[in-house]
Amino acid sequence: MKLGIVGLPNVGKSTLFNAITRAGAQAANYPFCTIEPNVGVVAVPDKRLDVLAEMYHPQKYTPATIEFVDIAGLVRGASRGEGLGNQFLSHIREVDAVVQVVRCFENDDIVHVDGSVDPVRDMETIALELIFADMQTVEKRMERTGKAAKSGDKKLAAEVATLSSIMAQLEKGTPVRLMEFTEEEKPFVDSLFLLTSKPTIYAANVDEDSLSAKPEELPLVQGVCQRAAAEGAEVVLVSAAIEEEIAGMDYEDGRAFLQEMGLTESGLDRLVRHCYHLLGLISYLTAGEKEVRAWTITRGTKAPQAAGKIHTDFERGFIRAEVVPFDTLVQLGSMAAAKEKGLVRSEGKDYVMQDGDVVLFRINV
């Protein structure tokens, strides 16, 4: 899973990236300090793996991972090439979802590119630039497809009709992710790689004093929540500065620091949880003395395709999956005990994997 971290210059985007990936992307108080996209891979926090590691004492511990891409700051006019707009737009096409960092803190020492802090205005700026860019893409495709459709090809004519519908809604300010399409239209729309089709989460970047507050208690965050709710998006409260501080600590000190602040999880934990929900992802687990590991799959994935995540041969040679829910395994203490109780299920090719399934795949290659 690849997430693009986007936002206007000086909203805390690169600071957040530094914190959650510890990759050291340059962060400075001027626009465009991030020129090439910085990429970092971060482990997905999963307490279930910690429990399995205590049970099995494995040689290897492998959590699921997420790839974060820190993309150059966008400014008004990016769709026309202003600032580093062209680079921004090309890089954002390559990600699965967008984490838009929105500045919800006041600090006279950090200059806002528009001269004042107004998170809703910032959200509208980015939304409009992405819509303008999509309109250009759709317009070019309409010209090309429209000429070809004059031959009488019904498929091309249908594509032109879909493009016309998309353009009409973009002109009204509606992002593609909020548009409705038929099952026949969806593959074509997906092939356009439109920017506003990307699932989006808003990271409201607040100061340390505001981190433990409720969103409705923070005027700047209220506007972000209202705007996000209107488009069915989620908001995660983070403090990039605090996340950066925690990133410099070891695990135990970081947890103690969070507890002192009255928090039960870091901003990264919340962000990952929301991103999994946004993209419809779950994890299944494998466990043994050699390795405990989490595997990320899309909700609704069947057992053979889940096995294929481990190796393509596993999908081709799939026989069955021996499955026990994580909670059941922990309660009984071992796979052997679960088998004795008859609680390890033998599932076939039509089994739909569930979050937290602990699995042993039986294959014949």
Condensed to tens digits (0 to 9), the pLDDT of residues 193-242 reads: 998 999 999 999 998 888 877 877 899 999 999 999 998 899 999 998 88
Q: With bands split at pLDDT 50, 70 and 90, how would you rate the model's confidence at 38?
A: confident
* Helix/strand/coil for 344: coil
Q: With bands split at pLDDT 50, 70 and 90, how would you rate the model's confidence at 80?
A: low
pLDDT in tens, 39-60: 878 888 889 999 999 999 999 9
pTM of the prediction?
Answer: 0.81
Other C-beta atoms within 10 Å of 1: how many? 17
What end-to-end distance do the CA atoms of the chain give, in Å?
A: 29
Backbone angles phi, psi at 80, to 5 degrees: -105, 10
The pLDDT value recorded for residue 278 is 86
User: CB under 8 Å, gap of 24 or more: what pairs does 330-336 form?
Assistant: 330/51, 330/55, 333/55, 334/55, 335/287, 335/360
The pLDDT value recorded for residue 28 is 46
**Percentage of the chain lying above the pLDDT 70 cut:** 89
Instruction: Compare 107 and 259 and report the one with higher pLDDT.
Output: 259
pLDDT in tens, 276-327: 888 899 999 999 999 999 999 999 999 999 999 999 999 999 999 999 999 9
Q: With bands split at pLDDT 50, 70 and 90, how would you rate the model's confidence at 169?
A: very high
What residue type is assigned to position 351 of the chain? Y
Q: With bands split at pLDDT 50, 70 and 90, how would you rate the model's confidence at 77?
A: low
- Work out the mean pLDDT of the chain and round it to a whole number: 86
